[in-house]
């Protein structure tokens, strides 16, 4: 399959945060760079958002993007009582990696791009089949540097008699990640996430290259340090190919938010969303509601109250407190449903994005130059929030946590902060400049990200 039209097999794991960038990569490779693309899919998906997304992707990009069914081996989840359903799917996929061999051989793949979450188990399988194997790192370059450095950090601590202890992590050539920003689970060496994370971090050096959904101008320190081998020596090629551009699917918009946005003045709306898997405690939801109300601004709020959308029960009125929806009627739109976030972020009425800083959300805000008020919660989100402030994309109130000892963030504080950021011209100007830099990197043919992706495709052709 080498030659004119390479066939690239993409292997995403579970969760929208992983599926979305893979869908974007699929379209960029097929429509933008002349590749045949197959996307491996495990059905049924964990959430219904993923099922809808896959269906829309294959319908929109047919026939250049094909579906490859990846059937998992039986997996007994009772080994991990109480584990997050997405982590369980990661583990089930990891254990089924040997089944990928025949799949890759039959598909006639010229290269495979695996999700970072599966990297350490897919790399040896691909090697055995003689298929070059790349990794798509679905988070920031700062997080990639952290992931690459962390196993060595743990080894050094063990050698110094501090096995399993995790404090501040100083990434060589990058910057220091304070203990409070280290993903919580990593403090527990036995945690399923820690085991997967460390194995993948060690495996990275065996990849033929690593694609990252970021761009040089947003994260210059991390991208440069990785490429120069300062983080880990002899590190594979790093292709910064972001922001991967949104694939516009025809919006199903029963809540009517696009029409509502059309009716609002320019830059007047605060868009609030904490991602697809962040369930917020009922008490914090109430404070957030009070804060949005007190800010006096218009707002569009996507409320999620459960981890998996299949059981997103509960009436909005009950969740947000008595009379709230009536009081904000006219200046706010609140919905529990799925929204097309990239369409919202590129709408001229949106002036601020209050975000949990899932990496895709950050890249989407960067792509459209929308300022972010970071309110990270777990995983890599605090590391991403630091990228937001360093990169000039917005503000972060570091004291705000979601379930820390400090307790709830009060509605009053939320309202004041939103008012302050919305009034700050400098924040808006800097974010707009990030938007310009993102466009220059990813959409113009001479841009750093465009050229990186072209270079990757060139290697798949060889």
Please report, for residues 211, 273, 423, the alpha-carbon distance to residue 419 in angstroms, rounded to integers and kept in the order given.
Answer: 38, 17, 6
Minimum Å gap between C-beta 248 and ligand BUP is 11
Minimum Å gap between C-beta 378 and ligand BUP is 9
Stretch binding ligand BUP (CB under 6 A), from 63-71, 166-174, 212-220, 338-346: 338-346
Among 13, 273, 401, 452, binds ligand BUP (CB under 6 A): 273
Among 38, 276, 295, 448, binds ligand BUP (CB under 6 A): 276
Stretch binding ligand BUP (CB under 6 A), from 2-10, 199-207, 276-284, 426-434: 276-284
Residue 275 near ligand BUP by CB under 6 A? yes
In the stretch 369-408, what mask flags binding to ligand BUP with x, by CB under 6 A? Answer: ----------------------------------------
Minimum Å gap between C-beta 77 and ligand BUP is 19
d(CA 175, CA 161): 25
Count of residues that bind ligand BUP according to CB under 6 A = 22
DSSP state of 180: G
Residues 173-212 that bind ligand BUP (CB under 6 A): none
Residue 147 near ligand BUP by CB under 6 A? no
Among 6, 201, 358, 376, binds ligand BUP (CB under 6 A): 358
Among 110, 341, 349, 448, binds ligand BUP (CB under 6 A): 341
Please report, for residues 56, 69, 178, 348, the alpha-carbon distance to residue 62 in angstroms, rounded to integers and kept in the order given.
Answer: 10, 16, 45, 31
To which H or E segment does residue 452 belong?
helix 448-461
Minimum Å gap between C-beta 100 and ligand BUP is 22
The tally of CA atoms less than 13 A away on the side-chain side of residue 64 is 16
Per-position DSSP letters for 26-47, written without gaps between them: HHIIIIIH--EEEEEE-SS-SS
Per-position DSSP letters for 70-139, written without gaps between them: -PPPP--GGGSTT--HHHHHHHHHHHTGGGHHHHHHHHT-SEEEEEGGGHHHHHHHHHHHT--EEEEE-S
Q: What is the 3-state secondary structure (H, E, C) of 221-244?
A: HHHHHHHCCCCCCCCCEEEECCCC
In the stretch 114-143, what mask flags binding to ligand BUP with x, by CB under 6 A? Answer: ------------------------------
φ, ψ (nearest 5 deg) of residue 314:
90, 135
**Cβ-based nearer residue to ligand BUP, 360 or 448:** 360
Among 334, 364, 376, 382, binds ligand BUP (CB under 6 A): 364
DSSP state of 184: G
In the stretch 4-33, what mask flags binding to ligand BUP with x, by CB under 6 A? Answer: -----------xxxx-x-------------
d(CA 344, CA 104): 38
Angle at CA of residue 142, ends 236 and 119, nearest 5° = 45
Nearest to 8, CA basis, from 144, 209, 215, 200: 209
Residue 280 near ligand BUP by CB under 6 A? no
Residues that bind ligand BUP (CB under 6 A): 15-18, 20, 273, 275-278, 302, 304, 338-342, 358-361, 364
């Amino acid at each position: 399959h080498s030659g004119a039209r390479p066939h690239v097999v993409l292997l995403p794991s579970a969760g929208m945060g992983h599926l979305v960038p893979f869908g974007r990569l699929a379209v960029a490779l097929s429509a933008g760079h002349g590749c045949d693309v197959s996307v491996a899919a495990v059905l049924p998906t964990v959430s219904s958002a993923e099922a809808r997304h896959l269906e829309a992707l294959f319908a929109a990009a047919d026939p250049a993007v094909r579906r490859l069914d990846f059937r998992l081996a039986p997996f007994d989840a009772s080994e991990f009582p109480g584990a997050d359903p997405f982590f369980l799917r990661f583990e089930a996929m990891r254990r089924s990696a040997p089944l990928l061999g025949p799949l890759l051989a039959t598909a006639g793949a010229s290269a495979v791009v695996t999700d970072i979450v599966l990297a350490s188990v897919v790399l040896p399988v691909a090697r055995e089949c003689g298929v070059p194997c790349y990794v798509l790192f679905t988070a920031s370059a700062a997080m990639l540097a952290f992931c690459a450095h962390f196993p060595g950090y743990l080894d050094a601590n063990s050698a110094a008699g501090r096995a399993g202890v995790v404090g501040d992590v100083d990434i060589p050539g990058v910057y220091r990640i304070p203990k409070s920003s280290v993903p919580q689970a990593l403090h527990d060496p036995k945690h399923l996430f820690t085991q997967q994370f460390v194995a993948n971090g060690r495996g990275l050096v065996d990849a033929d290259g690593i694609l990252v959904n970021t761009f040089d101008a947003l994260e210059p320190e991390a991208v440069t340090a990785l490429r120069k081998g300062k983080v880990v020596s002899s590190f594979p090629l790093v292709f910064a190919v972001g922001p991967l551009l949104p694939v516009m699917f025809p919006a199903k918009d029963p809540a009517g938010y696009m029409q509502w946005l059309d009716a609002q003045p320019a830059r007047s709306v605060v868009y609030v969303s904490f991602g697809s898997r962040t369930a917020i405690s009922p008490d914090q939801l109430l404070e957030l509601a009070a804060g949005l109300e007190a800010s006096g601004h218009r707002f569009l709020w996507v409320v999620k109250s459960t981890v998996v959308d299949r059981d997103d029960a509960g009436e909005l009125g009950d969740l947000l407190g008595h009379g709230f929806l009536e009081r904000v009627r006219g200046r706010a739109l609140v919905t529990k449903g799925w929204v097309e976030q990239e369409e919202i972020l590129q709408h001229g009425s949106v002036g601020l994005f209050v975000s949990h800083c899932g990496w895709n959300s950050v890249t989407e805000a960067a792509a459209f130059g929308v300022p972010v008020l970071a309110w990270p919660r777990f995983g890599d989100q605090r590391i991403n929030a630091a990228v937001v402030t360093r990169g000039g994309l917005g503000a972060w109130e570091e004291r705000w946590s979601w379930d820390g000892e400090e307790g709830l963030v009060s509605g009053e504080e939320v309202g004041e902060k939103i008012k302050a950021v919305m009034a700050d011209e400098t924040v808006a100007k800097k974010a707009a400049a990030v938007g310009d830099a993102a466009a220059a990197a990813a959409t113009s043919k001479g841009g750093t990200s465009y050229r990186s992706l072209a270079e990757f495709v060139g290697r798949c052709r060889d």
